[in-house]
Structure 1
């Protein structure tokens, strides 16, 4: 984190209000980057805000100014986990599950895959979610949807083809 000096961090740790304000302003981009990596998209702003509050409260406890970068990442990751536990206590809808899949992306491929799934028509998306995420058998999917196994196979094949095409154009 070269956006600020050890002197600025040390001054903020010692209670200098101006140094703390400058440090908080300069750490926001890093906090946001970390939050995008570890949080659901809907939780990024909350995680950054909560992390800024925690930095203000706990900065004097930081052992060394050089440890700030790792400390910030750990703080954001913990806040993201806390927020995610709150989300998972509720029963999410299929749209929320898809949004969570997209936002948990730690690399571009997962994000592209989630976008590809979002682009599917609802009847194809349902089959993909049941087969690939809930890991139901074709027979179980057929019973749940009231469709024939042949229809399920056809929809699943078409949905996977659409996802491959989307990913090929995204690359």
Structure 2
């Protein structure tokens, strides 16, 4: 996996799409004021690592309930909660995206894309469950969870191996220079 990640970090072919996403992030979630709220100023460190726990926890709990008989309604509810919770997770992630270096943005583009694919599976799972097709809903949800796991690995690589925003905020050798709150 490290070789694949090194190739992803160096994949200049991704720069056009990564730059387009950065422009979009700057125009939406990266605006002054909103970026401060979503990124770190209120609590002193990036918010994204904290808010991703809601969707991931709900999706993992959905997987557990899907393995148990008679829990279809609870599983569907948790899946919907996790999917709704992914919206603030995406917003906080995009607010951080504007601060990333070019190699970090390449990996983050893959992270963002994988999250979008996972969300597609989760949305399709919700739709199947609401139609009463819980077997298909389970398959779609487990697939989405697998893709979300790959995405989480990529996000962890940005944060830890590449010293992304969370590491920089902790004073590690990250590349982001955060202005003081005063």
Over alpha carbons, which structure has the higher Rg?
Answer: 1
Tell me the TM-score normalised to structure 2 length: 0.26
Q: Please state which structure has a larger fraction of its residues in helix.
A: 1
Higher normalized contact order (CA 8 Å, seq sep 6+, divided by chain length): 2
Tell me the TM-score normalised to structure 1 length: 0.27
